[in-house]
Amino acid sequence: MAKLLQINSSLFGDNGNSSTLANEFVQRWKAANPAGDVVVRDFAKEEVPHLDATRVQALFSPAEGRTTAQQAVLDYSDKIIAEIQEADAIVIGVPMYNFGVPSALKAYFDHIARAGVTFKYTDTGPVGLLNDKPVYIIATRGGIYKGQPADSQSPFLKSFLGFVGLKDVHFIYAEGLNMGQKDEAFAAAKTEIEQEVAA
């Protein structure tokens, strides 16, 4: 059975532009995979703990001396990594906030990046350990940033995902949403979504 992991990182939940288009992707994916399963992570509905010194220490703590609180940190990390490993494809709704990704998404990534689990260092450089699969980034922006120096978001996403082994990354942009171009941008993005799901 095919499995899709949906990650919505908008502060506005289902009302966010990126979530709306990610939900569109999911609807089309379900139509193409009627027996498929969708696992949803919506950061507007669940808290993603940001790293602090205590959590970092927990991630590096040896199993034999680990406290109950430290084990809970590992359990959370293990769970979200397992969701990625078990998925056949991933769709991530990513709005641009102040030229970057939402802090909850960055925190989520921080719990995924674990040496020896999702990546390792070798003599020739780092190697990602996650099984590669298509990752669809639904990138929504108020202005126009695609291909511009101010778009620090897209290179970061591609670099991080590639670092942990997810190299098959597809970007679907909806830009100019605060510039009177929302209808056109959404229509174009929905066409791209339809093409990506059908591919």
CATH number of domain containing 100: 3.40.50.360
Query: Residue 104 pLDDT more than 90?
Result: yes
CA distances in angstroms from 6 to 24, 47, 66, 76, 144, listed in the order given: 11, 16, 32, 17, 25
CB 107 within 8 A of CB 46: no
pLDDT over 90 (residue 168) = yes
Give the pLDDT score at 83.
98
Per residue in 111-166, pLDDT (tens digit) is: 999 999 999 999 999 999 999 999 999 999 999 999 999 999 999 999 999 999 99
State how far the Cα of 4 lies from the Cα of 121, in Å rounded to an integer: 29
> Looking at residue 196, what DSSP letter applies?
H
Instruction: Look at residues 108, 111, 76, 80 and name the one whose alpha carbon lies nearest to residue 94.
Output: 108
Spatial distance between the Cα atoms of 175 and 187, rounded to a whole number of angstroms = 11
Domain extent at residue 90: 3-198
pLDDT for the residue 1: 79
In this prediction, residue 199 carries a pLDDT of 84
**32-51 per-position pLDDT tens digit:** 999 999 999 999 999 899 99
Closest CA to 160 of 123, 112, 99: 112
In angstroms, the CA 26 to CA 6 distance is: 8
Cβ neighbours of residue 54 under 8 Å, at least 6 residues apart? 69
Domain count along the chain: 1
Specify the pTM. Answer: 0.95
CA 1 to chain centre: 22
